[in-house]
A = this chain, B = another copy of it.
Amino acid sequence: MKRQELIEQIHRKKSFLCVGLDTDLKKIPKFLLDYEDPIFEFNKRIIDATKDFCVAYKPNIAFYEALGAKGWISLEKTLNYIPNDIFTIADAKRGDIGNTSALYASTFFKTYPFDSVTIAPYMGVDSITPFLEYENKWTILLALTSNLGSKDFQTQLTFDNEYLYEKVLKASKSWGSIENTMYVVGATKAELLSDIRKIIPDHFLLVPGVGAQGGSLESVAKYGINKDVGLLVNSSRGIIYSGNSNDFDVLASESARSLQKQMANFL
């Protein structure tokens, strides 16, 4: 998907919501376990219920991979079911030496034709460039994540008084462009978004951590929105596990609509 198509979708739906499809057999309503593919059955109903209120879907690959080969089949069916005009993110956090990263790019851009994939930056430039070679596909690089462990290395101060995540932003923004690179910045770090926007004023940010992890949508919008909106705010558990009986999809729809309405106020 092209940048302009994503921006148009955001304005059309008055939403920058991404729904995280972190689908866990232990958490989905029990009645779905009678279906042949409960993971897909759950995702299908969540997609039907939320597609008017979100602009992106983000399956976290760990949830599918943990089920072995059949998890990948559920993932493929889910990807095929997502409407073509909605942005898709493989939240895979991959990264390896160049020739191996090329295979990961092939996995998530060809075998499973997602629009984008999340990448960990630790291995540097040649672990990332193979992803940037695909037209209209996106690399979403981890910068400052929402978890406790982000303080261990990401906010490590370097000798010239910058944080490591700032080095990641500054180095990598020249590897790609605003047409093919986004960054992950956790909603729990919203107070740092103004500083981050000084380094990357125009890039899209993927912001997890609103909801279950405690981040505030208002702060994220206040400090993160740019002239093209430039935000995809993700909610996973807060939407998809809104209920656990037959009407779980109705409740998920309400949760997504509620977030979309809040987002509309910031646009």
Residues in A lying within 8 Å of B, measured CB to CB: 22, 60, 62-63, 65-70, 72-73, 76, 93-98, 100-101, 103-104, 106-107, 111-112, 120-128, 142, 145-154, 156-159, 161, 164, 167-168, 171
Contacts and interface: CB of A to CB of B under 8 A. Distances in A.
Given A122-B142, A125-B149, 8 more contacts: A62-B94, A62-B100, A121-B153, A123-B150, A124-B153, A157-B158, A158-B159, A159-B161
A76 B171 CA distance: 38
Contacts of A154: 122-124
B150 A103 contact: no
22 contacts: A60-B100, A62-B94, A62-B101, A63-B103, A66-B106, A66-B111, A68-B111, A68-B112, A69-B70, A69-B72, A72-B72, A98-B147, A98-B149, A120-B120, A123-B142, A123-B147, A123-B154, A124-B149, A125-B149, A153-B168, A157-B159, A158-B159
A246 B135 CA distance: 39
A171 B154 CA distance: 13
Nearest to A161: B159
Contacts of A67: 111
A214 B199 CA distance: 37
Contacts of A73: 69
A170 to B, nearest CB: 11
Closest 3 CB pairs of A and B: A124-B149, A124-B152, A62-B103
Contact of A156 (B93, B112, B151, B164): B164
A76 B69 CA distance: 9
A129 B112 CA distance: 30
